[in-house]
Amino acid sequence: MTSGRLLAIETSCDETAVAVVERGRRIHADVIASQVALHAATGGIVPEVAARAHVRWMIPVLEEACRRAGADGLAGIEAIAVTEGPGLAGSLLVGITLARTLAWLHDLPLVPVNHHEGHLYAAWLLDPDEPEHAEPALPAIGLVVSGGHTFLVRIRDHLDYVRLGGTIDDAAGEAFDKVGRLLGLPYPGGPAIAAAAQSATRRDRRFPRAWLGESDDFSFSGLKTAARRSVAEASGVDPDRGEPDASKLPPDVVAELAWAFQDAVVEVLATKTVRAAQRHGARSIVMGGGVAANQALRDRIAGGAAALGIPLVVPRPGLCTDNAAMIGAAGWRRYLAGVRAGPDLDARPSLRLAA
């Protein structure tokens, strides 16, 4: 009997990550070196800086993951899964080069994985000591909400997606990060806004929602503009003339604006996701990507799903943000389906999940 263990590598953005996952579900090791502190200084990711940090951390992270999984020298590993895209070209190449080298050296199959597919398959993962529970039922509706992407798909069957819609301007996480900066909150904006919103005592301000009719598309740029005007006004600056100055905002106003912004993003994301689930007769909703860590969003979609009599399956917050275990989960499905890459596997920075 084979081990069913995949070694998974993820370096598409600013986390250097290696995991060992069994049969696409059970995590044996999940190691992440985060560059958040590195990029906080510049308020965002600088691609060259990110790629150099991957080079620095790739081997130590690999060694630690193998040690934790008892897979020293890759003992018991059946295949190597790696993110081929989308992402930053230089960052992707670091993980791909390691994966290609290990596959060649140990004569193991090499399985290329789409990063977004990983975010969806994170819903299948089980922590090392977590009791076994049912997999998300298919067909499902999948929502990916990350720093770079926001879209809805139908998951008709494993590895079979139909894109329903996506953002026509900013990704949800990008909007969180930009409004976080406007409010003078630390990078990344998502967790900081969520924390500020939780402390808000005034919860009656309403920012505009972009419904875009009945479509499954999203737009967050108008909301960002509304937030900018409100920050300017609250800091005593004419929004048509000057730049907003967050340093003049009292903490309760920051909290109020953070709540109003989050409420608008969450309402639109949740309404469209639940509506799509109903329209397409989904048996479950799965959600992934950094913004899926947001508790208000989780609660709202879970409530809508419950009203339809279906579950929302969303990983714990640490598996919503970038990690390699999710690449191991999606990689297993691809491995079973016979998807393989040759030693010439290259980065695909603009890879999409479905047409």
- Interface contacts to ligand KG4, rule CB under 6 A: 13, 146-148, 173, 176-177, 188-191, 194, 289-291, 293-294, 321-322
Residue 262 binds Zn ion (CB under 5 A): no
Stretch that binds Zn ion, among 26-34, 38-46, 90-98, 142-150 (CB under 5 A): 142-150
CB of 77 to ligand KG4, least distance (A): 25
Which of the listed partners (Zn ion, ligand KG4, none) does 335 bind, with a CB threshold of 5 to 8 Å by partner kind?
Answer: none
Question: Apex CA 254: angle with CA 253 and CA 259, to 5°?
Answer: 95
Asked if residues 17 and 61 have their Cβ atoms less than 8 Å apart, the reply is yes
CA distances from 280 to 53, 96, 354 (A): 43, 36, 17
HSE on the CB side for 60, CA within 13 Å?
9
Q: Tell the residue number behind the tokens 């985060």, with chain if given.
A: 34
CB of 176 to ligand KG4, least distance (A): 4
Distance CA 173, CA 260 (A): 16
CB of 324 to Zn ion, least distance (A): 11
Q: Which is nearer to Zn ion, 246 or 327 (CB)?
A: 327
Which of the listed partners (Zn ion, ligand KG4, none) does 194 bind, with a CB threshold of 5 to 8 Å by partner kind?
Answer: ligand KG4
Distance CA 32, CA 61 (A): 7
Which of the listed partners (Zn ion, ligand KG4, none) does 190 bind, with a CB threshold of 5 to 8 Å by partner kind?
Answer: ligand KG4
Q: Which is nearer to ligand KG4, 66 or 301 (CB)?
A: 301
Rounded to 10 degrees, the C-alpha dihedral 109/110/114/117 comes to 30
- Segment (H or E) for 97: helix 89-106
By CB under 5 A, name the one of 16, 146, 150, 230 that touches Zn ion. Answer: 146
Q: Which is nearer to ligand KG4, 9 or 102 (CB)?
A: 9
Residue 11 binds Zn ion (CB under 5 A): no
Distance CA 129, CA 134 (A): 15
Q: Which is nearer to Zn ion, 125 or 260 (CB)?
A: 125
CB of 263 to Zn ion, least distance (A): 24
The two three-digit tokens of residue 179, written as one number? 């409004």
Report which residue's Cβ sits closest to Zn ion.
146
By CB under 5 A, name the one of 26, 258, 322, 345 that touches Zn ion. Answer: 322
- The three-class DSSP label of residue 246 is helix
Distance CA 227, CA 289 (A): 23
Query: Between residue 178 and residue 237, which ones bind Zn ion under the rule CB under 5 A?
Result: none
CB of 167 to Zn ion, least distance (A): 14
CA distances from 22 to 4, 8, 180 (A): 5, 11, 38
Among 86, 123, 108, CA closest to 330: 123
Q: Are strands 140-145 and 284-288 parallel, antiparallel or unpaired?
A: parallel
Q: Which is nearer to ligand KG4, 76 or 191 (CB)?
A: 191
CB of 237 to Zn ion, least distance (A): 35
Residues that bind Zn ion (CB under 5 A): 146, 322
